[in-house]
Amino acid sequence: MEKRNSRPISILFAFLWIIFITCGDGDKKNAAQSAIDRAIADAGGELYEQSNITFRFRDAIYTLERTKGRNVMTRTRETDSGELRDVWDGRSFSRYFQNEKMAVSDSMANVYSNSINSVLYFAQLPYGLNDPAVNKEWIGEKIVGEKTYYKVKVTFDQEGGGDDFEDVYIYWIDAETFKPQYLAYEFHVNGGGLRFREAYNERYVKGIRFVDYRNYRPTGEAELIKLDSLFERRKLELFSDIRLEDIEVSRDSYN
């Protein structure tokens, strides 16, 4: 593992940033895009497209292999009866038990593939926020825990936005380091709800940033955009701890 030191913002960039946040809607859009660009660059940038990733999350091993322009995602679990392996390549889903392919209904294949995609999506954030179906909106600055963050809202187009295209996200990006420290989202599956995540245990593996999350939820009625205030007032309850273990990054196929 390797660790990075935060790079100072150049005088020119700081000057341009002041222009962005003090101007109209067009420049606010540019500011949101610029914040996301810087966040992705710090987290690994082009290295994502050159890397295969493996990690353990809870009771399963997740892998992402980038081959011939396609992302092949795999989840492998050991059951009492043997190894269960799910494979999703963005087009089709397959399930194998002890290396023998099993029949899976379309509805369950959709559930399993969405679950795999969700874990790998969160593990790679902020990578993916420049996908064509992603829309960024500048909200403003917010002080959380005596630090200033740029607050950016993310929504998705229906075309290309996946089954959960109606979900809404908000990112709090450190104004000095451009690292996403907090994120919140509103989801609609399984009855819907709100979550607020606090990143911790940052580490870089072969140049790619990984974090764990403390995952919170409101105890009563709440608004997505105000979850940061509830967090500061300790009005959110800890729902789960999201930890990635045994992380490996390889680029053998690109050498």
Angle between helices 11-21 and 25-43 (to 10 degrees): 140
**Confidence check: pLDDT of 48 > 80:** yes
pLDDT of residue 70: 84
**What is the sign, positive or negative, of the torsion defined by CA atoms of 25, 26, 27, 28?**
positive
| Residue with more model confidence, 17 or 150 | 150
> Per-residue confidence at 9, pLDDT binned at 50, 70, 90?
very low
Q: Where in the sequence is the domain holding 215, given as residue range(s)?
A: 11-254
**Mean pLDDT for the stretch of residues 105-133:** 94
92 within some domain: yes
Question: Exposed/middle/buried for 173, CB within 10 Å: 0-12, 13-18, 19+?
Answer: buried
Mean pLDDT for the chain?
89
Which amino acid is located at 238 in the chain?
A: L
pLDDT of residue 217: 97
4 within some domain: no
114 within some domain: yes
163 within some domain: yes
pLDDT of residue 252: 66
User: To the nearest whole percent, how much of the chain has pLDDT over 90?
Assistant: 76
How many structural domains are present in the chain? 1
5 within some domain: no
67 within some domain: yes
**What digits encode the pLDDT tens for the residues 133-162?**
999 999 999 999 999 999 999 999 988 777
Segments in 128-177 forming alpha helices (H): none
pLDDT of residue 1: 43
CATH of the domain at 248: 2.50.20
Whether the link from the prior residue into 132 is cis, omega within 30° of 0, is no
